[in-house]
Amino acid sequence: MKYDNYRCPSCGSNLDIDLDNLKKYCAYCGAKITFDTDSLSAILIEREKTKQYQAKVEAEKETRIFENSGKTSAVMLCVVYICLAIILVTAFITGAIS
C-alpha cells in the first residue's frame, strides 16, 4: 500500500511511502528515511478524515442535484398546466368549446 505527499526531512522533496516497507531513500538527495509508526498513524488518520470529508461533500452534492431535479420537474409541470389552461380558455372564448 502506498501513500503520497510525505516530505523528505533533509531536502523537503515529496516522497511516496510504501507502507509495506518503511525504509526509503530520497530520490533527490539520497537521504535514508525510516518512517516511525506514530507519524504514519497520524498520516493515515488524516488520510481517512480526508476520504470521509470528500465522501460527505460528494453525497451532499448528489442530494442537491436530486432536490433541484425535483424542483425543476415541479416547475415544468406547473408551466404545462398553465399552458393547458390558456389553451382551454382561448378555445372556450373563441367558441371551439361550448
pTM higher than 0.95 = no
- Whether residue 50 is predicted with pLDDT greater than 80 in this model: the reply is yes
Using the 8-state DSSP alphabet, how is residue 21 labeled?
B
Q: What is the predicted pLDDT for the residue at 1?
A: 45
Q: What is the predicted pLDDT for the residue at 83?
A: 93
Length of the chain: 98
